[in-house]
């Protein structure tokens, strides 16, 4: 099977700080990769380089046979195939849940209003928010806002969704409802990269965990392998610290 995504030797520097120092990995269709690592290690920068919200200095990103990093890549079209879910939801506050989900369908995909509405309602239903279609973000809980943001990503029928700490701005009692939607997506065969500290989720859903530090991948592999017998001592150390803080039974 050909990988859906190939990230090859990505470098990114801000001033004198080398934030990404050669990051490479592949992602197969239907796979979920969880990215972990200390703060400031380049996790968000890596996700942003994948759809060029941040321009990498060096290296290549391929989505199937399309080079995302090619100078003449049709980046808007590519971005419509790569969903992005942000820590702080990034919803338009002056638009209802339905309009937030529908906007890209109308503006980017040029669907008619009726078709856009039908697809948006389908995705709002999928994340359990059919009844909140007419609510504005201010009247939704953080967990509900994040589910709207996931519905917005799904509505575009992306090949891949990138999640940057989707639950870390949420009160503990709201984290489960968002993780529940993500578990379902993984089971439905969505391809995802998820930056998260939620070790229970990582253990049960990730095909692979990627541990990053100081702008490089220290180690990557299936959760059982990384938790039970990591090859680098630092990986085990970091995982046990995370598990202590964020819980992962077993």
Ligand X SMILES: Nc1ncnc2c1ncn2[C@@H]1O[C@H](COP(=O)(O)OP(=O)(O)OP(=O)(O)O)[C@@H](O)[C@H]1O
Q: Where on the chain is the footprint of ligand X (CB under 6 A)?
A: 14, 17, 19, 37, 39-45
* Residue number, 40 or 222, with CB nearest to ligand X: 40
Q: CB atoms < 10 A from the CB of 247, how many? A: 13
Q: Which does 250 bind (CB under 5 to 8 A by kind): ligand X, Mg ion, none?
A: none
CA–CA separation, 182 and 222 (whole Å) = 18
Member of 41, 44, 100, 167 binding Mg ion (CB under 5 A)? 44
Q: How far is the CB of 235 from Mg ion (least distance, A)?
A: 19
CA–CA separation, 23 and 59 (whole Å) = 8
Q: Which does 247 bind (CB under 5 to 8 A by kind): ligand X, Mg ion, none?
A: none
Reduce the DSSP state of residue 95 to 3 states and report it: coil
Interface with Mg ion includes 45 (CB under 5 A)?
A: no
Q: Are 199 and 246 in contact (CB under 8 A)?
A: yes
Our measurement of the distance from residue 54's CA atom to the centroid of its chain's CA atoms, rounded to an integer in Å, reads 15
Reduce the DSSP state of residue 85 to 3 states and report it: strand
Radius of gyration of the chain (CA): 18
Q: Which does 56 bind (CB under 5 to 8 A by kind): Mg ion, ligand X, none?
A: none
Q: How far is the CB of 13 from ligand X (least distance, A)?
A: 9
Q: Which does 9 bind (CB under 5 to 8 A by kind): Mg ion, ligand X, none?
A: none
CA–CA separation, 76 and 58 (whole Å) = 20
Reduce the DSSP state of residue 60 to 3 states and report it: strand
Q: How far is the CB of 109 from ligand X (least distance, A)?
A: 29
Q: How far is the CB of 171 from ligand X (least distance, A)?
A: 19
Q: Which does 19 bind (CB under 5 to 8 A by kind): Mg ion, ligand X, none?
A: ligand X
* Residue number, 2 or 88, with CB nearest to Mg ion: 88
């Amino acid at each position: 099977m050909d990988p859906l995504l190939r990230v090859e030797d990505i470098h990114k520097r801000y001033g004198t700080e080398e934030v990404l120092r050669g990051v490479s990995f592949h992602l197969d269709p239907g796979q979920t990769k969880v990215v972990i690592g200390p703060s400031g290690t380049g996790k968000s920068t890596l996700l942003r380089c994948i759809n060029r919200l941040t321009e990498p200095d060096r290296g290549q990103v391929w989505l199937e046979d399309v080079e995302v990093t090619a100078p003449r890549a049709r980046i808007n079209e590519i971005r419509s195939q790569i969903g992005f879910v942000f820590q702080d939801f990034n919803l338009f506050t002056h638009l209802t849940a339905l309009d937030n989900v529908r906007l890209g369908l109308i503006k980017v995909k040029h669907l008619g209003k009726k078709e856009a509405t039908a697809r948006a309602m389908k995705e709002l239903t999928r994340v359990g928010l059919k009844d909140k279609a007419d609510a504005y973000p201010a009247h939704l809980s953080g967990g509900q806002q994040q589910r709207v943001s996931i519905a917005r990503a799904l509505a575009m029928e992306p090949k891949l969704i990138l999640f940057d700490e989707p639950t870390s701005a949420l009160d503990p009692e709201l984290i489960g409802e968002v993780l529940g939607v993500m578990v379902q997506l993984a089971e439905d065969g969505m391809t995802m990269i998820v930056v998260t500290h939620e070790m229970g989720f990582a253990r049960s859903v990730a095909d692979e965990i990627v541990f990053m530090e100081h702008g490089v991948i220290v180690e990557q592999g299936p959760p059982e392998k990384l938790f039970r017998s990591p090859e680098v001592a630092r990986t085990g150390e970091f995982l046990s610290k995370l598990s202590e803080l964020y819980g992962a039974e077993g």
